[in-house]
Amino acid sequence: MIPREVVEEIVYRADIVDTIGSYVTLKRAGSNYGGLCPFHSEKTPSFTVFPATRSFYCFGCGAGGDVITFIKRVENLDYPSALEFLAERVGITIPQDRANERGELLNRKRIYEMNLEAAKFFRNCLFDPKLGQEGMQYLKSRQLSGATIKRFGLGVAPNSFGMLTDYMHSKGYSDEELIKGFLCGKSQKTGKSYDYFRGRVIFPIIDVSGNIIAFGGRVLDDTKPKYLNSSDTPGFKKSRNLFALNYAKDACSESLILCEGYMDVIALHAAGFSNAVATLGTAITSEQARIMAKYTKKVIISYDSDEAGQRAANRAMKLLEEVGLEVRVLKMNGAKDPDEYIKKFGSERFRQLLGQSKTGFEYKLENVLAKHDISIPQEKIKASEQLCDIIAGVTSSVEREVYIARVAESLSLTAEVIKNDVERRRSKEIRAQRRKESRDAMNSAKNYGDRINLDSAKNVAAASAEEAILGLLLIYEEHRTAVEKGKVDVCADDFFTAFGRRVFEEIMALQSTEKGFDFSLLDEKFNSDEIGRITRYKIGRHELRENGIDVLTSSVETLKKEKQRMSEKSGDDPFATIKRRQQNAADRKNKK
């Protein structure tokens, strides 16, 4: 829907190295740039940016594409929103298209405007003497000052089925928009819309650009669920956002404090610890870990001290360490969470506690020793087994040596005994990993487990021929022209896989336009995972020396032979294919 010349100008101005470099630390590697992939956890860089082709590709997870694809992935945006994001970045104004004028697209900007209006409604309700009395009493009981309430934009949702919906209607928002924005639902019985948040204190979730992207709500009584959070919307993905990062990003150069809930974070900010953040009603995700790694080098986990909190802390440690962060854990005695600790002992004691935070290994060691009475031989053996399992998962040999000595001292055993057990476990894990890699390699060769091109495993030779054809067409104008003019006899019906057929059709459809093929325009037709696969076809051909017309014709012949063989095997009518080919040839002739 956005004019092609505008898309081309955006891609031209949005230098891919500069754009990706604002999210990923890139280092030059010859004519390209490399870094740690922002889309999966890794310690050895497998992410490459190719300035010559204005593309990127991760050889670890398969993410790839151009600058538009990157923004779609990293900012969780659809195609029009990604273009808007880049256009704003490079100072280009996108003309309003007809779909937007009809209100058919609920884009990111519209979501943010709608959420801002809803936040104003919730805030006004909180400060209304009648509507907000119960909510204000709750916030005051949590010892929140008026300044803190305003700073975080807190509000209240009245215990009404339609007050917010009616208000939003008066501001010009439709039920469809409110449902997509997760502000209202629709009754299956009556078909009427109703407010999603009712009888709750409201916590607006604000991104680092200052946009209200979602809401969390806490009940004012004992009903369940205690907390209710926005589901994912066109402008929000909970696995890729953190509560209060909009404030914490300016105060976390030394460390971030990771909490479990909204109130813990707000209490810490009110007490002067403005580097606190929280996940959004779910366990920490790898995306959130990578986000934190963009802003700091150290994370202090401050979860509840109960068993569930300990399990959550162990998961968080693993994900945070995978992205290269230094991880420490708070041990709070006499309080279940940071909010309660500060209320009991004050902010200065909490500051001292931060300085006493333990390394991830010390935290795990203390937890294991607390569960077992090591004066009993059988319990000591169990403790040793658990600790050896923990050490075996550490990649650094220096760290392993340090931890082995620490465990040996704690259990009154020799370091040699602990080391032998650790190495035995590591050898077992390495063998298992190699077996898995071998299975994965075999499956990959057979295209098993391919979630993008589902038909590829049915005929590996045909799928490989398709990849070669598509790679050549993606790169070379002369090959596209040869196909377009019928010099190379291949059409969509020759393709064996549905995905390959789609890609071919889109390439040739763009080729037939006045301005010809442009890779960036594929972003509108394919999702990010599919663009990653298409990029792999392109890069795979770039790495080969022989990419001439003879390679294209040979690949086409192979594809046709395999298609014919499969047709004969399945008993398909061979004349149907001939008729389609004749019709395609006639269509090409008419176009000329």
- 10-residue mean pLDDT profile of the chain (592 residues): values are 86 94 91 91 89 92 95 87 90 67 56 95 96 95 95 96 96 93 89 93 93 94 89 85 94 92 95 95 86 90 85 89 88 89 94 91 90 93 94 86 94 94 90 72 58 83 92 94 93 93 95 90 92 93 86 94 78 54 61 54
Contacts of 207 (CB under 8 A, 6+ apart): 213, 241, 245, 246
Burial class from Cβ neighbours inside 10 Å (0-12, 13-18, 19+) for residue 280 reads: buried
Amino acid at 137: Q
- pLDDT given for residue 104 in this prediction: 38
Question: What CA–CA distance (Å, rounded) separates 2 from 522?
Answer: 13
- The DSSP string of 73-131 is HHTT--HHHHHHHHHHHHT-PPPPPHHHHTT----HHHHHHHHHHHHHHHHHHHTSTTT
Question: What CA–CA distance (Å, rounded) separates 581 from 585?
Answer: 6
320, 288 contact by CB (below 8 A): no
Closest-CA residue to 259 (of 241, 279, 274): 279
- pLDDT given for residue 102 in this prediction: 36
Pairing label, strands 358-359, 326-329: antiparallel
Question: What CA–CA distance (Å, rounded) separates 213 from 560?
Answer: 51
229, 280 contact by CB (below 8 A): yes
Q: What is the pTM of this model?
A: 0.70
Strand partners, 217: 202, 228
Question: What CA–CA distance (Å, rounded) separates 175 from 354?
Answer: 47
Closest-CA residue to 471 (of 555, 396, 591): 555
CA distances from 581 to 462, 483, 486, 550, 562 (A): 18, 13, 11, 21, 16
Contacts of 180 (CB under 8 A, 6+ apart): 106, 111, 233, 234
Structure tokens belonging to residue 312: 């959550």
Judged by DSSP in three states, 229 sits in strand
Amino acid at 368: V
- pLDDT given for residue 100 in this prediction: 47
The residue ranges of DSSP E strands in 137-285, in sequence order, are 155-157, 184-186, 193-195, 200-206, 212-219, 227-229, 256-259, 276-278
Question: What CA–CA distance (Å, rounded) separates 131 from 137?
Answer: 12
